[in-house]
Amino acid sequence: MEPILPEEMRALDENAEFLGISRLQLMENAGKGVVDCMLRRMNLRGKKTLILAYTGNKGGDGFVVARHLASMGVLVSVVLLAKPEQISTEEAMTNFCIVEELCSSVALSIAPMPSDVMLLEEAIKSADVLVDAMIGTGAKGELREPLSTAVSLSNSAKSFKVAIDVPTGIDPASGEVRGAAFKADLTVTHHRPKTGLLKPKAKRFVGDLEVVNIGIPPEAEIYVGPGDLRLAVKPRGKFTHKGENGRLLIIGGSSRYVGAPSLAALAALRVGIDLAVVAVPSSIAPTVRKYSPNLIVVPLPSEGILDRRCIPAIKEELASADAVVMGMGLGLDQETRFAVKEITEYLKSSGIPAVIDADALKALGEHHGALRSANAVVTPHSGEFSALTGEKLPKETEDGWRDRLGTVMRWASKLNVTFLLKGRYDIITDGAKYKIKTIGNPGLTAGGTGDVLAGIVGGFMSRGVSPYRSAVAASFLNSRAGDILAERMGYHYTARDLVDAIPLALKEFDL
């Protein structure tokens, strides 16, 4: 079974919740899955089972385990290694409150201090079964007290030991053990094995590994959701300075198309970058400046189009850029096509993260080599996809993304870049994995909304997010902002309205 990183697992939980599956449901399924695995191993009736729980959702799983075991007549004790008010999630608190009421079938102890744990030494060492419900995918660094003492006593006991999801003390991503770790005979992990569990250094702590289905549907992995957005949004540090949160260069515009690069730049600023620099032909620079005082506008040497004279100036700007977005509003003059090819080759050779959009895609239709293996996201609609690849996609209908998926994945693999194919159902793929965007509304067909999307992708990439994760998150954010506008004003909104709705969509998910 394909392993999963801890942060990706948390994203799946949030995506499942977005689909209507509550975290309380998932916790219930997780706890019941652990009990089922235990019962397949042994007859627990009459056996003393002690559950060591902490403040997070893994502790909540442990409370569920306690309830199910108690209903079967098992002798159950629960030790909470914290004060009850320190329980950090609503779901864990809900299940703790239930356990508190089970005073006839569950023996509950509160042990927030190492000395409290030591008073329970005999109970821990005499248990027939010990269940680790302490720390799971949120583990960081060495264990603190009283967890360290609890783990030490557990490891010295002769009990059969069961770890929920990840043995406490193991880094769930790397498998590293820094200090003490719970040494399990059986680890019951949820949905898919966490990457750290499969590392050789973790093996002696994991014991036998079983994976249980907790009810996360395939759609939570296939469809983009708020969990994917959370993976891409980086909080600002308390002591950061201007420029440390992303500097994006936008290359676009022509005498005919003035607004497109401005929309991309403003969208990037709305996702939390520090600086958006817009490089445009000199004749439109004054107009672009008027769009917003938040934009840094660089007039290029050419007057009305991007041409080869602009290349040295763009390279100079790229020296201080964290990422670049290129293409919107450029036009298709032959000189522009040449400049796009040269700039793309330079971006590839320098490794600068790039979003290639709109007219730049058409310009590269005859020059795939310039794009191949670039650190890039390409953002075509179906017509631009055909211009870039020479291949026509099937028409989009309900579930029509399935007919397009194979072709888009093949081209992403062939060019070794990430594709974000825009449509009613966006397809995001790097050739190996894919996501589908299902939210959104017809108002997103308004001119300029694709420029906003490209700017969001570039904004995330300028903050160090990978091309694939940036594209997935941007697809969700762009459409969720559109849905917020549709709820308020129908489909009568503009691309500029969409820019202003980005913070509302982020705030909806506490980002």
Is 348 in the same domain as 446? yes
Kindly state the average pLDDT of the residues 435-461: 97
For 23-44, what is each residue's pLDDT tens digit? Answer: 999 999 999 999 999 999 999 9
Do 193 and 4 meet the contact criterion of CB atoms below 8 Å apart?
yes
Q: Is the dihedral of CA 201, 206, 207, 212 positive or negative?
A: negative
On the 0-12 / 13-18 / 19+ scale of CB atoms within 10 A, 290 is exposed
Strands (E), 150-223: 160-164, 186-190, 208-212
Of 480, 481, 467, nearest in space to 428 by CA: 467
Please report, for the domain that includes residue 446, its CATH number: 3.40.1190.20
Report residue 239's pLDDT band, with 50, 70 and 90 as the boundaries. Answer: confident
What is the rounded average pLDDT of the residues 151-165? 97
- pLDDT over 90 (residue 385): yes
Residues 137 and 200 in one domain: yes
Task: Classify residue 1: in a domain, yes or no.
Answer: no
272 — alpha (psi -120 to 50), left (phi > 0) or beta?
A: left
Both 51 and 199 in one domain: the answer is yes
148 pLDDT above the threshold of 90: yes
- CA 358 to each of CA 94, 225, 240, 251, 451: distance values in angstroms, whole numbers, following the listed order: 50, 25, 34, 12, 8
**163 in any annotated domain:** yes
Residue 330 lies in a domain: yes
Q: Looking at the structure, do residues 268 and 317 belong to the same domain, yes or no?
A: yes
Kindly state whether residues 169 and 281 are assigned to the same domain.
no
CATH number at residue 148: 3.40.50.10260
Give the model's pLDDT for residue 361.
97
Amino acid at 344: T
Based on the domain organization, do 230 and 213 belong to the same domain?
A: no
CA atoms within 13 A on the CB side of 412: 25
Judged against a pLDDT cut of 90, whether residue 243 lies above it is answered with: no
Choose between 46 and 197: higher pLDDT.
197
pLDDT at 178 over 90: no
Q: Total structural domains in the chain? A: 2
217 & 246 share domain: no
Residue 249 has pLDDT above 80, yes or no: yes
Residue 144 shares a structural domain with residue 247: no
Residue 221 has pLDDT above 80, yes or no: yes
Could you tell me if residue 58 is inside a domain? yes
Average pLDDT over residues 432-447: 97
- Given a cut of 80, whether residue 398 has pLDDT beyond it is no
Are residues 87 and 199 part of one domain?
Answer: yes
What is the mean predicted confidence (pLDDT) over 236-247?
A: 89
pLDDT score, position 333: 95
* Residues 230 and 206 grouped into a single domain: no
Residues contacting residue 78 through CB under 8 Å, at least 6 positions apart: 50, 51, 53, 62, 63, 66, 99, 106, 107, 108, 109
The secondary structure of 293-315, three-state, reads: CCCEEEEECCCCCCCHHHHHHHH
Q: Write down which residue in 171, 188, 222 finishes a domain.
A: 222
Q: Is the per-residue pLDDT at 408 higher than 90?
A: yes
Q: Average pLDDT of the chain?
A: 96
State whether residue 160 is helix, strand or coil: strand
- pLDDT level of residue 399 (50, 70, 90 thresholds): confident
pLDDT tens for 314-370 read 999 999 999 999 999 999 999 999 999 999 999 999 999 999 999 999 999 989 999
Calpha distance 133→161 (Å, rounded): 11
Whether the Cβ atoms of residue 17 and residue 216 lie closer than 8 Å to each other: no
Are 185 and 269 members of one domain? no
Q: What would the DSSP string read from start to end of 235-257?
A: PPPTT--TTTT-EEEEE---SS-
| CB atoms near residue 150 (< 10 Å) | 29
pLDDT of residue 1: 77
pLDDT for position 238? 85
33 to each of 65, 188, 347, how far by Cα in Å? 9, 8, 49
Last residue within a domain, chosen from 222, 253, 276: 222
The boundaries of the domain holding residue 167 are: 6-222
> What per-residue confidence (pLDDT) applies to 237?
85
Can you tell me which residue has the tokens 């469809």?
223
39: CB partners within 8 A, 6+ apart: none
Diameter over CA atoms, the chain: 86
Q: Does one domain contain both 59 and 122?
A: yes
pTM as predicted: 0.94
Q: What per-residue confidence (pLDDT) applies to 458?
A: 98
Q: Which of 159, 187, 222 represents a domain boundary (last residue)? A: 222
What is the predicted pLDDT for the residue at 366? Answer: 86
The pLDDT value recorded for residue 138 is 81
Task: Summarize the confidence of residues 73-95 as an average pLDDT.
Answer: 97
State both tokens at 290.
């008027």
Q: What is the mean pLDDT of residues 461-489?
A: 98
Give the H/E segment covering residue 94: helix 90-101
What local confidence, expressed as pLDDT, does residue 353 receive? Answer: 98
CA–CA–CA angle 369, 375, 376 (5° rounding):
80
Would you say residue 86 lies in a domain? Answer: yes
- The answer, yes or no, to whether residue 508 has pLDDT greater than 80, is yes
Give the per-residue pLDDT at 179. Answer: 87
